[in-house]
A and B are shown apart, each in its own frame.
Chain A
Amino acid sequence: MEALFFVLGIPLLGGAALGLLGHRSYARDINVVFSLGTFLAACALTAEVISQGPVFALNKQFYVDPLNVFMVTLTAFVGLTTAIFSRPYMRVEQDHGKMTPPRMRLYHGMYQLFSCTMLVGLTTNNLGILWVAMEAATLTTVLLVSVYRTPASLEAAWKYFILCGVGIAIALFGTILLYMAAEKIVGHDGGALLWTNLDSIKHRLDPNIITLAFAFLFIGYGTKVGMVPLHSWLPDAHAEGPTPVSAVLSGLLLNVAMYALLRCKVLTDGALHRPLAGQLMMGFGLLSLVVAAFFLSRQKDVKRMFSYSSIEHMGLIMFAFGMGGAVANFAGLLHMTVHSLVKSAIFFTVGHAAQKAGTQVMSEIRGLIKVNPKVGWGMMLGVMAILGMPPFGVFASEFLILTTAMREQPWATPFLFFALGLAFASMLARVLPMVFGETSLKPLAHPPALVPVFVHLALGLVLGLYIPPYLNQWYVQAGSMLRSAGG
């Protein structure tokens, strides 16, 4: 239980400290130290949950079970590696005059607070607090998206704020309806928004209210996941901010929104006795996958292309959870993990490549493998991994999702193959000239931190080849928590 306080307290303290000292030259290192502390606390929390089972804290307001502890560790881990990556990256940005000391202070302070809000969202048991944390996560990142103050970045941040703000407001309406349904059963003081309470009474919740509530929650949190008709903020926000911010937005915040959606789905499945939530998730997941694959093929900006790739993968994950069932849930969780790792690794290399070229336009980035072989190989391997080449973990999860879809939802198979194939062809066609090809680019003044890239890719590789038994058990356990609700 103490570990949980450290998980939440360290980034909060870090936010306060870096809000004061973030403009100093050593702030980069402080940022890494706080992120490391958070990660160690998350490991301790994981050990506690594995050995003792689910943990409650603070009058049941916080609840950690196998489902969210795995995401807490992932979030803390990617938060740490992104902090390591951002040390040399932001230094170069500062040398280029894009970041001034006050902006660095904003960046460092908000980076820690952003980690804190995500971790609060993941560990809270109260669906109201989950909403507050999701909104706070938007608020902490919106000023980071516009930190360069260019017209494009201001536009991206404004869109991000308004669209996500409106989306999340709809989710609050859904939360109010959910509270109304639960209040009738447990009473006004019975903790009617606590997920564990809701989970225990979900079969008695009124189906009419829950249908309406889930519709609102789905639209609301779906906006934050980047679900297709509501995705237009995502490529802008992920492409215009500093690259470390792109990496955590794509790699982590989308996961947290998906997690919120999953928690709501479990309750809805229990209350409705029909797979409405699953069908909605399958339909919109597939739509996101196909539409994102088309947009992906038309991009000129490298970060926008990978942002669309994030929408594509979130669509696939949503589809997997929509199918439900033991294998699909397992695959969905695995895909969330490897997507986080690989996508943030890709953004790290893309950041360095764009810094070298001085532009994010793909046709002007050439021959990375000659200028800096590590960046070139990192990007090549990362792209192979994200496209689902064996032996990386994405292959394993996509294979499981595809085979399950063939067996249970055969109608969806052609769409899945088509979208994945289109994404494969168009992304590879863009990336090959960037990695190979003739170049006149110069190396950077500060050597890039590429350890995080290869650590992420190695983990992605390991998850593709061999999932350790305890991790396997963890996935199965978390997957069954999602499924037991469906039954």
Chain B
Amino acid sequence: MTAQYVPQLINLCATVILLLSFAMISQRRIVSLINLFTLQGLVLVIASVLLGYATHQNELYVSAALTLVLKVVLIPWLLHTVIRRLNVRWDVETLINIPTTMLVGIALVIFSFSLALPVSQLSKSIAGGSLGIALACVLLSFLMMITRSKAVPQVIGFLSIENGLIFAATTVTNGMPMIVEIGVALDVLVGVLILGVFLFQIREQFDSLDIRHLESLKED
């Protein structure tokens, strides 16, 4: 593989990550949602490795390994365990109006691209143009969290935001300082564990994982 193909391959990865974000928005089955999330993590790892190969920065390999362990192995495993124990593995969520959500998603992508364009031109990195895609992934994950009413898809949306952020850090700046990346990874891991505890507490208290039960604290 010659280095000239690397930027194109990274752009391919960026496109796949964006497509996976759209796929997650429209996915009704919880188990498939986790698989899509795992796949997104895997593409992220590939992008980091490619960039590390092209720029000869060993830090990027470490960052890729961190993502691999956390986002592809550990967190999906935890999520699978949780949904099996909670017995929501085969739950199908009724999503209202997938086409409208998709259209809003496209509008978000256009918005992110126009926002990121003047900035990404200034990036020195070979994959600097991916900033728009990273921002779009973050916003699409927000959209997913807004449209879902079950707790587990919200958690996955939350984690998918982190994917977008890591992709931004990798492509635009060739990775944050190592100590920060480790700190972020640690926070994500602890966050997932706490959210897992929460899911059980919510289930125990409300007999359901529908977060529409969590709307009683309002100003009246």
Contact = CB atoms under 8 A, between A and B. Distances in A.
Interface of A: 61, 126, 128-129, 131-132, 135-136, 139, 142-143, 146, 149-152, 154-159, 161-162, 165-166, 169-170, 172-173, 176-177, 179-180, 183-184, 188, 191-193, 206, 208-209, 212, 236, 240, 295, 298-299
Nearest to B123: A180
Given A132-B183, A159-B217, 16 more contacts: A128-B179, A128-B184, A129-B179, A135-B187, A135-B191, A152-B217, A154-B205, A155-B213, A155-B216, A158-B214, A161-B195, A165-B158, A172-B165, A176-B172, A193-B177, A208-B118
A139 B217 contact: no
Contacts of B194: 139, 142-143, 161
A180 B118 CA distance: 13
Contact of A154 (B57, B122, B162, B214): B214
Contacts of B123: 180
A183 B198 contact: no
Contacts of A139: 187, 190-191, 194
Chain A interface main SS type: helix
Contact of B158 (A61, A162, A295): A162
Nearest to A169: B161
A161 to B, nearest CB: 7
Given A136-B187, A212-B115, A173 B165 contact: yes
Contacts of A156: 217
Contact of A151 (B135, B138, B172, B216): B216
25 contacts: A129-B183, A131-B184, A139-B191, A143-B194, A143-B197, A149-B205, A152-B217, A154-B205, A155-B213, A155-B216, A158-B151, A159-B214, A161-B194, A162-B154, A162-B158, A166-B142, A166-B158, A166-B161, A169-B165, A172-B184, A176-B165, A180-B172, A184-B124, A212-B115, A298-B219
A146 to B, nearest CB: 7
Interface string B150-164: 010010001001100
A371 B169 CA distance: 59
B165 to A, nearest CB: 5
B119 interface: yes
A191 B168 CA distance: 19
Interface string B89-124: 000000000000000000000000001001100111
Interface residues of B, number: 48
Contacts of B180: 126, 128-129, 131-132, 193
Contacts of A206: 122
Contacts of A193: 176-177, 180
A206 to B, nearest CB: 6
B184 A158 contact: no
B206 interface: yes
Interface string B181-215: 00110110011001101100110111000010111
A192 B216 CA distance: 45
A188 B124 CA distance: 11
A173 B138 contact: yes
A74 to B, nearest CB: 25
A151 to B, nearest CB: 6
B24 to A, nearest CB: 16
B149 interface: no
Contact of B198 (A161, A173, A192, A295): A161
Given A126-B179, A143-B194, A165-B158, A132 B187 contact: yes
Contacts of B174: 188
A158 B176 contact: no
B26 interface: no
